Structure 1
Amino acid sequence: MALPLRPEPVESVLPCNFAALAGDRRSVRAFQDRPLPAGTLERLLQLARRAPSGANLQPGRFIQIEGGIRGRLSSALVEACRDGRQEPEDYGYFPQPMPMSLRRRQVAAAQALYRAVGVAREDRAGRDRQFERNFFFFDAPVALIVTIDREFGAGGYMDLGMTLYGLMLAAQAEGLASCGIGALASYPGLIRRTLGLGERDCIVCGMAIGYADPQAPVNETVTTRCELDEYFTRLR
């Protein structure tokens, strides 16, 4: 059922304090074996689609994978990763070359993750095992593949990004957790073949949604955000 053109005020739909909602949201990488109530995902997606969109084009598609197709995709992704196979990605995510200022942020985030799960820097096997959890959607009850039509330019990715964040916040407001999975973008051809998608379907990322496992050490991972003066300037 589509949302009405004039939805209820947001406070009646999501009764929460936004500062707490945004502040508590984090990438969760371990979930309980507990399904979402019927209709929850559909409702979250409809709320996320309220994100701003240039010319109201609403780019992006969300594909939920379950059962056998999910198992086959996870197995294929792990096999490709272990074999060292590489594919050209559908879009460039990281700057090339990576500036040292950004590289330091990337390294700090990885260190926080591996420190939480007790994996030492020199433990390559342990790091690989943790990385492969991406391909199993961290065992979340909901596994999504996010795509965008190849004809969209950078603005479409911007609009889709706002929808993705809207989905994460909508999930958070319902007591759910989420994690965007950029690792899936490394195997776009494999994903298209396994899911029977067309060449116009660019693979943007995956997403895991479910109830966070409060006992999992990996969910204690904490990353920082840069200071305001690093990205905000006032000109007069």
Structure 2
Amino acid sequence: MSSTLLKPPSSDAVESADSLMKGRFSCRYYEKKPVPKSVMLEILDAARHAPSSGNLQIWHKVYCITGTALEAFRDEAEAAFANDPDSMVAEYPAYPDKFPGEYEARHHDFAKIYYGALGIERSEVKERAKDVINHLRFHGAPVGLVFTVDRGFAQSAWLDLGFFMQSVIIAARARGLETVVEVQMSCPHVLLRKHLPIGENEIVVLGMAIGYPDMEKVQQRYVAPTKRRLEDIVQFHGY
């Protein structure tokens, strides 16, 4: 067994780990500064140690796209959405047709905060469409990640993909980069297959923008969404 395994954490590990998780935010503004391939390799190498049920590691592939390849996808995706937005349909339902109970209110509150920070009213359909285009363009980040799983797995097994993606986020933050997860990125899966060698046995689940944050713009526009209180999430029994 490798000596790097079973290695106890350093004395400052708690503070560092908590800071990386609690300070995370969805970054939608990035510097033009490119992310070196060596840095992406470090991030993904760390993330591949994420837990998975039965060690299945169901994250079939993570496609890392940048440079001219990313620009070509961005331009085509924007044009496709502008010409026929209904042509972009995800391969799976990301949300239910109607949010049950408290989730509807939480979703509404987030939309109010998010669009309010952008100065977009609910009635401004064209401005909201521009925001969708920003999602499709990976918010201008220098690197886009596209995550897929094998079609043979039920969605319950996709939890492991979440572990992997969270590991990417934490490893990226530790290196001075920020991210935003793009649920929207399943919608242009047909276009993604034109630009990336995604097999028919793969479902495009999510995307992620990653890069060095433009903190000046982030601070101008970002409003932190309310997180649930710990006492509303956890029930202790036996303590």
RMSD: 2.6
Partner residue in 1 for 2:42: 43
In the TM superposition, residue 221 of structure 1 has moved relative to its aligned partner by 2.8
Q: Is the 8 A contact 1:30 1:219 kept in 2?
A: no
Partner residue in 1 for 2:117: 116
Q: In structure 1, which of residues 226, 231, 234 is the aligned counterpart of residue 228 of structure 2?
A: 226
In the TM superposition, residue 229 of structure 1 has moved relative to its aligned partner by 4.0
Partner of 1:95, secondary structure, is coil
Matching residue's letter, 2:24:
R
In the TM superposition, residue 27 of structure 1 has moved relative to its aligned partner by 0.5
Partner residue in 2 for 1:177: 178
Alignment of 1:155-234 (within 5 A): 155-217=156-218, 220-234=222-236
Matching residue's letter, 1:25:
R
Q: Is the 8 A contact 2:91 2:204 kept in 1?
A: yes
Partner residue in 2 for 1:84: 85
In the TM superposition, residue 13 of structure 1 has moved relative to its aligned partner by 11
Q: How far apart are the structure 1 equivalents of 2:113 and 2:184? A: 18
Matching residue's letter, 2:149:
I
Q: How far apart are the structure 1 equivalents of 2:10 and 2:101? A: 42
Q: How far apart are the structure 1 equivalents of 2:201 and 2:11? A: 39
Alignment gaps of 5+ in structure 1:
none
Q: Is the 8 A contact 1:48 1:164 kept in 2?
A: yes
In structure 2, relative to structure 1, the CA distance for the partners of 1:142 and 1:52 (3 Å cut) is same
Partner residue in 2 for 1:30: 29
In the TM superposition, residue 53 of structure 1 has moved relative to its aligned partner by 0.7
Matching residue's letter, 2:229:
E
Partner residue in 1 for 2:127: 126
Q: How far apart are the structure 2 equivalents of 1:15 and 1:36? A: 27
Q: Does structure 1 residue 70 correspond to structure 2 residue 62?
A: no
Partner of 1:179, secondary structure, is strand
Q: How many residues align?
A: 234
Alignment gaps of 5+ in structure 2:
none
Q: How far apart are the structure 1 equivalents of 2:72 and 2:32? A: 20
In structure 2, relative to structure 1, the CA distance for the partners of 1:150 and 1:211 (3 Å cut) is same
Partner of 2:87, secondary structure, is coil
Q: How far apart are the structure 2 equivalents of 1:13 and 1:189? A: 45
Q: How far apart are the structure 2 equivalents of 1:12 and 1:230? A: 31
Matching residue's letter, 1:173:
A
Q: How far apart are the structure 2 equivalents of 1:41 and 1:194? A: 20
Q: Is the 8 A contact 2:67 2:142 kept in 1?
A: no
Identity %: 27
Q: How far apart are the structure 1 equivalents of 2:77 and 2:17? A: 37
In the TM superposition, residue 219 of structure 1 has moved relative to its aligned partner by 5.1
In the TM superposition, residue 168 of structure 1 has moved relative to its aligned partner by 0.5
Q: How far apart are the structure 2 equivalents of 1:8 and 1:38? A: 28
Q: Is the 8 A contact 2:81 2:88 kept in 1?
A: no
Q: How far apart are the structure 1 equivalents of 2:80 and 2:90? A: 14
Which stretch shifts more, 88-97 or 121-130?
88-97
Relative to the length of structure 1, the TM-score reads 0.87
